[in-house]
């Protein structure tokens, strides 16, 4: 296996590739003898078969579908369905019967989406969904698993095939791939959540990434990785990022810190949204408990603290780097009051003392504000704890 990996890595540097052709018989014998695992395109087909004909597919397929809207019910309109407009004429969009599919090409306005949401016909090219706000709205409301399967597996296959650093001789398409990643990122911002296929792509491709190709787009996608167990994230996300972080330029370090700050903010915003939800059924479907969220957030903060301490030593406490580190801790210091999460983590000594002894007034002002917010959050946490103890006594 190590030889095969070495051969793939060095393939472009081999002068006489015709000699490698003699080994193809051995390679194909590996295909027959070795278990290669689940392939994305086969998994997509089997998932669709199991959805429509479950009796034909007996194996268990992994699913990473979002479940927040499983209890969602769109109420039927109480008003009498009348599609007549002024003058007794009907528009072309309203002329479809209740049982006829509504082509998405004729979808223009949000009211049209609401009127025809039960009979929309998705396009054959799922990529067009990412650039259509109305269809993204529909995805947030639909419980049809086939829609998600089509989009997620199409996206996963496209990311795998078009990745410029995972596929040989794909560098000429880097600009096109960069545009596709930008489209995926905008769709995630619109939906306020990351795609599972995008998360799997990042975990699979980050160990091979050079830190240069599509840098801003990759780091933007990192900020939308959903919360999961940190042990999985550490090996698949944090370790590859840390290797690039320590060996790259100052500006790359700042970009990584900005991406991790946005990742933390997205996790905390997700927590606030769940707290504000009044539906018990929605809470019962959550995969992440409060303790799991606290542990994941704490591990992420500690990870950033470790790499920040090392980066300040490598860059000799550069003012620009220190600004991004303190910007991250501006979010951390307000977790208890702003995001209602019972967690207070102070910056490590390797971050605090360089900021305290900095000759730059901006960094010193940042540190003073952070310490003030830490004090405010700590006092609020102690008062809350005391009030709970008093209520228990009485």
Q: What is the pLDDT of residues 276-288, one digit of tens each?
A: 764 444 444 444 5
- The overall average pLDDT reported for the chain is 78
Q: Compute the average pLDDT of residues 244-251.
A: 93
What pLDDT, on the 0 to 100 scale, is given for residue 187?
Answer: 92
pLDDT of residue 77: 42
The yes-or-no verdict on residue 72 having pLDDT over 60 is no
Strand, helix or coil for residue 246: helix
Alpha carbon distance 230, 295 (integer Å): 8
Q: Tokens 């305290």 map to which residue?
A: 356
Task: Over range 299-316, report the average pLDDT.
Answer: 95
Asked if pLDDT for residue 78 goes beyond 60, the answer is no
Region 82-98 average pLDDT: 45
pLDDT band for 55, please (50, 70, 90 cuts): low
Question: If we measure between CA atoms, which residue out of 70, 72, 77 comes closest to residue 115?
Answer: 77
DSSP code of residue 103: E
Residue 152 has pLDDT above 80, yes or no: yes
217-224 mean pLDDT: 94
User: Which token pair is 298?
Assistant: 């704490």
Query: Model pTM?
Result: 0.72
The average pLDDT across 55-71 equals: 56
**Which two structure tokens, joined as six digits, stand for 40?**
């994305």
| Residue bearing the bigger pLDDT, 108 or 62 | 108
The fraction of the chain above a pLDDT of 70, given in percent, is 69
**Stronger pLDDT, 268 or 64, i.e. the higher one:** 268
Torsion angle (degrees, nearest 10) of CA 175, 191, 140, 293: 120
Instruction: Please name every residue paired with 103 in a beta bridge, in sequence order, or none if there are none.
Output: 121
Which of 106-115, 207-216, 333-342, 369-378 is the least confident region?
106-115
Instruction: Measure the CA–CA gap between 142 and 149, rounded to whole angstroms.
Output: 12
What is the per-residue pLDDT for 287?
Answer: 45
- pLDDT reported for residue 386: 86
Range 341-364 average pLDDT: 94
Comparing 4-18, 83-97, 259-273, which segment has the lowest mean pLDDT? 83-97
Flag whether pLDDT at 318 surpasses 80.
Answer: yes
Asked whether residue 153 carries a pLDDT value surpassing 80, the answer given is yes
For 112-139, the pLDDT digits (tens) are 777 776 666 666 667 778 888 888 877 7
Residues 342-349, mean pLDDT to the nearest whole number: 94
Q: Once rounded to an integer, what is the mean pLDDT over residues 318-328? A: 96
User: Does the pLDDT at position 256 exceed 50?
Assistant: yes
Classified as helix, coil or strand, 385 is helix
* 244-258 mean pLDDT: 95
Q: How would you class 352 by CB atoms within 10 Å of its CB: exposed for 0-12, middle for 13-18, buried for 19 or more?
A: middle
Question: Higher pLDDT residue, 322 or 270?
Answer: 322
Give the model's pLDDT for residue 56: 67
pLDDT surpasses 60 at 177: yes
Res. 47: pLDDT tops 50: yes
Instruction: Give the pLDDT of residue 11.
Output: 72
Dihedral of alpha carbons 296, 299, 303, 309, sign: positive
């Amino acid at each position: 296996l190590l030889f095969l990996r070495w051969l793939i890595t060095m393939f472009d540097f081999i002068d006489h590739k015709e000699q490698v052709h003699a080994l193809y018989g051995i390679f194909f014998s590996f295909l027959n003898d070795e278990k290669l695992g689940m392939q994305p395109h086969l998994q997509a087909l089997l998932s669709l078969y199991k959805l429509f004909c479950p009796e034909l597919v007996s194996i268990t397929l992994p699913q990473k579908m979002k479940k927040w809207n499983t209890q969602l019910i769109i109420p039927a309109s109480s008003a009498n369905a009348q599609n007549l407009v002024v003058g007794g004429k009907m528009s072309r969009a309203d002329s479809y019967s209740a049982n006829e599919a509504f082509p998405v090409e004729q979808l223009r306005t949000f009211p049209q989406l609401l009127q025809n949401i039960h009979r929309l016909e998705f396009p054959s090219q799922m990529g067009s969904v990412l650039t259509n706000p109305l269809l993204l709205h529909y995805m947030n409301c639909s419980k049809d698993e086939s829609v998600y399967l089509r989009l997620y597996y199409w996206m996963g296959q496209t990311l795998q095939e078009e990745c410029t650093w995972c596929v040989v001789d794909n560098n000429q398409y880097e600009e096109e791939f960069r545009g596709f990643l930008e489209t995926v990122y905008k769709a995630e911002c619109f939906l306020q959540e990351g795609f599972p296929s995008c998360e799997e792509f990042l975990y699979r491709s980050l160990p091979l990434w050079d830190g240069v190709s599509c840098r801003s787009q990759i780091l933007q996608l990192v900020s939308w990785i959903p919360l999961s167990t940190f042990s999985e994230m550490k090996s698949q996300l944090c370790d590859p990022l840390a290797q690039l972080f320590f060996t790259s330029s100052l500006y790359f370090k700042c970009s990584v810190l900005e991406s991790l700050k946005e990742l933390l903010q997205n996790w905390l915003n997700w927590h606030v949204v769940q707290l504000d939800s009044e539906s018990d059924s929605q809470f019962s479907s959550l995969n992440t408990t409060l303790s799991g969220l606290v542990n994941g957030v704490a591990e992420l903060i500690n990870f950033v603290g470790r790499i920040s301490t090392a980066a300040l030593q490598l860059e000799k406490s550069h003012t620009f780097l220190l600004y991004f580190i303190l910007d991250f801790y501006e979010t951390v210091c307000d977790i208890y009051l702003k995001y209602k999460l019972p967690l207070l983590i102070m910056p490590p000594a390797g971050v605090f003392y360089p900021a305290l002894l900095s000759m730059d007034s901006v960094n010193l002002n940042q540190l003073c504000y952070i310490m003030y917010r830490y004090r405010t959050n700590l006092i609020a946490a102690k008062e809350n704890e005391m009030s709970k103890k008093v209520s228990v006594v009485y």
